[in-house]
Amino acid sequence: MTYDDNNIFAKILRGEIPCKKIYEDEYVLSFHDVNPQKKIHALVIPKGKYINLDDFNKNASEKEIVGLMKGISIVSKKLGISSEVAHGYRTLSNISEHGGQEVPHLHFHIFGGESVGKMVQ
Ligand code: 5GP
């Protein structure tokens, strides 16, 4: 599978589609999910063109990998749900077909602001 430059998150990264931005740095962009499943539902995406976590871990640089992992914690702090300052959150990434991935640009969901319930339903 090759990366689709026309996926919705690629368009958001290029500024062609608006988003409610939470945080941005050299490695990541974070914004609110358009269809929130919990009180807080954010997305954290790498700036590089990676389809999913397997593609990312195979092809991204160490700096990009660290940047994305740290980005999740930075965003959780910005949202006030970090375990350092509040009650925590859930992060997950859907990978390909059986994972239920809809947008083919790697993203981590962040759910919080309330108890998010069972891990898999
Ligand atoms: P996936 O199922 O691929 O793990 O999650 C894709 C997520 O992207 C969904 O939660 C969906 O609501 C969100 N999404 C899809 N299109 C847009 C959009 O245009 N803007 C934003 N902010 N989120 C989107």
Question: Which residues are within 8 A (CB) of 80 and not within 5 positions of it... i.e. 6 or more apart?
Answer: 86
CA–CA dist 76, 63 (Å, integer): 20
| CA 83 – ligand 1 centroid, Å | 25
Pocket test for ligand 1, best of 92, 103, 106 (most atoms within 8 A of CB): 103
Pocket test for ligand 1, best of 8, 109, 120 (most atoms within 8 A of CB): 8
Question: Which residues are within 8 A (CB) of 33 and not within 5 positions of it... i.e. 6 or more apart?
Answer: 41, 42, 43, 109
The residue ranges of every structural domain in the chain are 8-112
Asked whether the beta carbons of 50 and 105 are under 8 A apart, the reply is: yes
**pLDDT value for 18:** 98
Tens-binned pLDDT, residue by residue, of the chain (121 aa): 899 999 999 999 999 999 999 999 999 999 999 999 999 999 999 999 999 999 999 999 999 999 999 999 999 999 999 999 999 999 999 999 999 999 999 999 999 999 999 987 6
Instruction: Classify domain 8-112 at the CATH topology level.
Output: HIT family, subunit A (3.30.428)
CA–CA dist 56, 30 (Å, integer): 17
